[in-house]
Amino acid sequence: MRSDRIKQGDKSAPQRSLLYALGFTEEEMDKIEEAVKQGVALAGGVPVVFPAIAVCDGIAMGHEGMKYSLVTRELIADSTEAMAEAHPFDGLVMIPNCDKNVPGLLMAAARLNIPSIVVSGGPMLAGTMKKKRISYSTVSEAVSRHQTGEITAEELRVCEQKACPTCGSCSGMFTANSMNCLTEVLGMGLPGNGTIPAVFSERIRLAKRAGMQIMKLVKKGIRPSDLMTEKAFENALAVDMALGCSTNSMLHLPAIAHECGIRMDLTMANAISEKVPNLCHLAPAGESYVEDLNEAGGIPAVLHELDKLGLIRTDLLTCTLKTVAENIKGKEIRDKTVIRPAEDPYSRTGGIAVLKGNLAPEGCVVKRSAVAEEMLCHSGRARVFDGEEAALEAIYAGRIEPGDVVVIRYEGPKGGPGMREMLNPTSAIMGSGLGDSVALITDGRFSGATRGAAIGHVSPEAAVGGTIALVEEGDLIEINIPDHKIQLLVDEEEIKNRKSRWQPRQQKLKNGYLKRYARSVTSGSTGAILE
Catalytic (active-site) positions = 447
Residue 244 Rama label (left phi>0; alpha psi -120 to 50; beta): left
- Contact status, residue 365 vs residue 240, Cβ threshold 8 Å: no
User: Which residues are CB-contacts of 413 (< 8 A; sequence separation ≥ 6)?
Assistant: 70, 419, 461, 518, 521, 522, 523, 524, 528
**Calpha distance 224→228 (Å, rounded):** 6
Long-range contacts of 507-516 (CB under 8 A, 24+ apart): 507/415, 507/417, 507/463, 509/417, 513/68, 513/71, 513/75, 514/67, 514/68, 514/71, 514/417, 514/418
**Calpha distance 55→35 (Å, rounded):** 23
- CA–centroid distance for 147 within its chain: 27
The three-class DSSP label of residue 192 is coil
* Other beta carbons less than 10 A from residue 318's beta carbon: 22
Pairing of strands 353-357, 132-134: unpaired
Any alpha helices (H) in 221-314, and if so which ranges?
224-227, 230-243, 249-259, 267-273, 290-295, 298-308
Sign of the CA dihedral 49, 57, 363, 354?
positive
**Calpha distance 79→68 (Å, rounded):** 16
User: Which residues are CB-contacts of 354 (< 8 A; sequence separation ≥ 6)?
Assistant: 250, 266, 267, 269, 270, 363, 364, 365, 484
**Calpha distance 76→53 (Å, rounded):** 6
User: Residue 323 forms beta bridges with which residues?
Assistant: 317
**Calpha distance 481→147 (Å, rounded):** 31
**Calpha distance 327→420 (Å, rounded):** 37
Q: H-helix or E-strand containing 34? A: helix 25-42
User: Which residues are CB-contacts of 48 (< 8 A; sequence separation ≥ 6)?
Assistant: 87, 89
**Calpha distance 480→483 (Å, rounded):** 6
Q: Residue type at 314?
A: T
User: Residue 386 forms beta bridges with which residues?
Assistant: 409
- Contact status, residue 485 vs residue 357, Cβ threshold 8 Å: yes
